[in-house]
Amino acid sequence: MRRRYETNLALVVLLVTASVAVAETRKEFRFPVSGKASVSITNVYGPISVKSAQGGQIFVIAILKSDKVEVDRSQSGDRIDLVSHLLPGADMQSGQVEYDVQVPIDTAVTLHTTTGSLTAEKLQGDLSVEGAAANVSLRDIANAHVHVKTLDGPITLANIVNGHVEVTSISGNVVMTAVNGKLVEVNSASGKIRYDGDFGYAGVYILSSHTGDIEATAPSYASFDVSARSEKGKVENDFTLEPKHTSFVVKAGSAFAGTMNKAASSVKLFSMSGKIHLKKR
């Protein structure tokens, strides 16, 4: 009896898998580009992954989960637009498209999704990434503007060199590792902000939150000028700082300010009620 049940179950699983596999469609698009290109991808449901590759073209693999979704595409010179177009009856499952995109390294990339993950790596062009509930992961980016917006999707930024980074998230946690540049600004409401890096050289780092905790970790050789304050949260500092003038009253446990080494970069940590911790690595 049990054996028969298992056999039936396996058959059902096989049939379901087969039907899903049959419904999936793989499409490839190639867009030749001659100069500094820009690509914009809007995907309602599903992930988008972008990487750099050799060659003067943008190569897109799109896996459509059903025939209830199409990919609309257009090219105007070096500008490429791809949009997942839901057809009647599409839902969160059947409306999914998975994009795997290869672009020339200096391509400007704009990604939108609602729920999928958004990843980009090894790029040196400007990046704009938006997604309400999207998981965002960006790594190995250089000399670029990086703008990220999510509602509650977590954001991971790693190895971003000489960037102009602006991140806004309401409740998504933001984790940055080895991120530096002229401006690194993170604005969060309830999400936590974590920074692990050396604050680079001559940059401005502004990490602010409403209730989310802020944790910044830097090595002892880091050179920065820091002011940190939480109106209702606890503030801790592991560094021995040279005192400096501030616009607010420095009060142990709720605010501190000072300079470390040559004060090459400016660091501002502010929270209304979250905890702030400046840690020494």
State the minimum distance, in angstroms, from the CB of residue 233 to other proteins.
12
Angstrom distance (rounded) from CA 10 to CA 30: 40
Q: For residue 67, state whether it binds other proteins (rule: CB under 8 A).
A: yes
Q: For residue 2, what is the enclosing H or E element?
A: helix 2-23
Q: Which of residues 207-226 bind other proteins (CB under 8 A)?
A: 208, 210-211
Q: For residue 60, what is the enclosing H or E element?
A: strand 57-64
Q: Which of residues 167-196 bind other proteins (CB under 8 A)?
A: 168, 170-171, 187, 189-190
3-state secondary structure 110-175: EEEECCCEEEEEEECCCEEEEECCCEEEEEEEECCEEEEEECCCCEEEEEEEEEEEEEEECCCCEE
> Nearer to other proteins by C-beta: 23 or 92?
92
> Nearer to other proteins by C-beta: 137 or 188?
188
| Binding letters toward other proteins, positions 118-157, x by CB under 8 A | ------------xxxx---------------x-xx-----
> Nearer to other proteins by C-beta: 20 or 87?
87
Neighbouring C-beta atoms of residue 279, cutoff 10 Å: 15
Q: Pick the binder of other proteins from 16, 105, 248, 251 (CB under 8 A).
A: 248
Contact region for other proteins (CB under 8 A) — 1-9, 50-58, 112-120, 155-163?
112-120
Q: What angle do CA 137, 140, 146 make, to 5 degrees?
A: 65
Contact region for other proteins (CB under 8 A) — 70-78, 96-104, 157-165, 233-241?
70-78
Residue that the structure tokens 């991808």 belong to? 41
Residues 228 and 257 sit within 8 Å (Cβ to Cβ): yes
Measured in whole angstroms, the distance separating CA 235 from the mean position of its chain's CA atoms is 27
User: 155: closest CA among 170, 173, 179, 128?
Assistant: 173
> Nearer to other proteins by C-beta: 133 or 158?
133
Q: Pick the binder of other proteins from 31, 33, 45, 239 (CB under 8 A).
A: 45
**Residue 226 structure tokens:** 């820091």
> Nearer to other proteins by C-beta: 19 or 93?
93
Q: Which residues here bind other proteins, judged by CB under 8 A?
A: 42-45, 67, 70, 72-73, 83, 85-88, 90, 92, 95, 112-115, 130-133, 149, 151-152, 168, 170-171, 187, 189-190, 208, 210-211, 229, 231, 247-248, 270, 272-273
